[in-house]
Structure 1
Amino acid sequence: MWTTTTFAAALLLSGPLIALGLWVHGALAGARQRVASAERLAAARGRCLSLAAQELRGPGLALMAAADHSDLVRPSQDNPIEAVAQQLLRLADDLADFATEPAPRTLHEAPALLGPVVDAAIANVAAQLRPGQRHWKITPELRSLRVQADRRALEGALSALLRRAARHSRDGDVVALRHVLGAETVAIIVEDEGDGLPAQDLVTETASGLQHGMVGTANGTRGLDLGLTLARSLAVAHGGDIRLESAPGIGARAWLTLPSTRVLGPA
Structure 2
Amino acid sequence: MTGSSQTAIAPARILFADDDPIMLELAAARLVEAGHDVMTAEDGETALALVEGNGAELVISDLDMPAMDGFELTRRIRAAPHLAEIPVIVVTGSDHASAVEAAFAAGATSFLAKPINWTLFNQSVMFVLKASRDQRALREARDQAEAGARFKDSLLSVMSHELRTPLNAIIGFGQILREQFDAERDHLHREYAEYIIDSGKRLLDAVSDILLVSDARSGPIAIAEADCTAREIVETACAEVAGQASLAQARLSVALEAPDLTLFADRALLARALAKLVDNAIKFSPRGARVVVGAASPRQGGLVFVVKDEGPGVAPERLAALAKPLAPADLSPRRAEEGLGLGLPLARAVAAAHGGRLRIESPPKGGTTALIALPAARVRRAGGAGQARLAKARLSGGPA
The TM-score, its normalising length taken from structure 2, stands at: 0.38
The one-character-per-residue Cα deviations of 1:70-117 (angstroms, maximum 9, x if unpaired) are: xxxxxxxxxxxxxxxxxxxxx968743424528473211111111122
The one-character-per-residue Cα deviations of 1:197-254 (angstroms, maximum 9, x if unpaired) are: 25652349xxxx98x57xxxxxxxxxx9422101111110000010101135520111
Give the paired residue count. 178
Distance (whole Å) between structure 2 residues aligned to residue 250 and residue 142 of structure 1: 28
Which of residues 226, 229, 234 in structure 1 aligns to 2:345?
229
The answer on 1:121 being equivalent to 2:232 is no
- Map of 2:374 onto structure 1: 258
- Map of 1:98 onto structure 2: 209
- Map of 1:46 onto structure 2: 160
- 8 Å CA contact retained: 1:49, 1:95: no
Which of residues 171, 194, 197 in structure 1 aligns to 2:314?
197
Q: Relative to 1, partners in 2 of residues 1:145 and 1:246: Cα closer, same or farther, differing over 3 Å?
A: same
The answer on 1:238 being equivalent to 2:358 is no
- 8 Å CA contact retained: 2:236, 2:271: yes
Q: Relative to 1, partners in 2 of residues 1:97 and 1:127: Cα closer, same or farther, differing over 3 Å?
A: farther
Distance (whole Å) between structure 2 residues aligned to residue 171 and residue 38 of structure 1: 37
Report the alpha carbon displacement of residue 170 of structure 1 after superposing the two structures with TM.
2.2
Which of residues 300, 303, 326 in structure 2 aligns to 1:183?
300
SS, match of residue 224 in structure 2? coil
Report the alpha carbon displacement of residue 192 of structure 1 after superposing the two structures with TM.
1.2
Distance (whole Å) between structure 1 residues aligned to residue 154 and residue 256 of structure 2: 45
SS, match of residue 368 in structure 2? strand
- 8 Å CA contact retained: 2:274, 2:347: yes
SS, match of residue 187 in structure 1? strand
Q: Relative to 1, partners in 2 of residues 1:38 and 1:249: Cα closer, same or farther, differing over 3 Å?
A: closer
More contact order relative to length (CA 8 Å, sep ≥ 6): 1
- 8 Å CA contact retained: 2:157, 2:211: no
Query: How is 1:126-205 mapped onto 2 (pairs within 5 angstroms)?
Result: 126-129=242-245, 131-176=247-292, 177-198=294-315, 201-203=318-320
- 8 Å CA contact retained: 1:49, 1:98: no
SS, match of residue 235 in structure 1? helix
Distance (whole Å) between structure 2 residues aligned to residue 47 and residue 147 of structure 1: 30
Report the alpha carbon displacement of residue 144 of structure 1 after superposing the two structures with TM.
2.4
SS, match of residue 359 in structure 2? strand
Which of residues 222, 228, 249 in structure 2 aligns to 1:112?
228
- 8 Å CA contact retained: 2:160, 2:208: no
SS, match of residue 128 in structure 1? helix
Report the alpha carbon displacement of residue 153 of structure 1 after superposing the two structures with TM.
0.9
Report the alpha carbon displacement of residue 147 of structure 1 after superposing the two structures with TM.
0.9
Report the alpha carbon displacement of residue 49 of structure 1 after superposing the two structures with TM.
7.8
Letter in 2 for 1:187: V
SS, match of residue 193 in structure 1? coil
The TM-score, its normalising length taken from structure 1, stands at: 0.55
Distance (whole Å) between structure 2 residues aligned to residue 38 and residue 201 of structure 1: 26
- 8 Å CA contact retained: 2:156, 2:211: no
Letter in 2 for 1:138: V
SS, match of residue 234 in structure 1? helix
- 8 Å CA contact retained: 2:295, 2:303: no
Query: How is 1:59-98 mapped onto 2 (pairs within 5 angstroms)?
Result: 95-98=206-209
- 8 Å CA contact retained: 1:235, 1:241: yes
- 8 Å CA contact retained: 1:114, 1:144: yes
After TM superposition, the structure 1 stretch with the greater mean CA deviation from structure 2, 161-170 or 91-100, is 91-100
Q: Relative to 1, partners in 2 of residues 1:38 and 1:105: Cα closer, same or farther, differing over 3 Å?
A: farther
Report the alpha carbon displacement of residue 138 of structure 1 after superposing the two structures with TM.
1.9
Distance (whole Å) between structure 1 residues aligned to residue 305 and residue 225 of structure 2: 18
Structure 1 alignment gaps of length 5 or more: 1-36, 54-90, 214-223
Distance (whole Å) between structure 2 residues aligned to residue 258 and residue 100 of structure 1: 23
Q: Relative to 1, partners in 2 of residues 1:226 and 1:116: Cα closer, same or farther, differing over 3 Å?
A: same
The one-character-per-residue Cα deviations of 1:111-136 (angstroms, maximum 9, x if unpaired) are: 11111221111111122347223222
- 8 Å CA contact retained: 1:122, 1:159: yes
- Map of 1:62 onto structure 2: none
SS, match of residue 143 in structure 1? coil
Distance (whole Å) between structure 1 residues aligned to residue 153 and residue 314 of structure 2: 37
Structure 2 alignment gaps of length 5 or more: 1-150, 168-201, 326-339, 381-387, 391-400
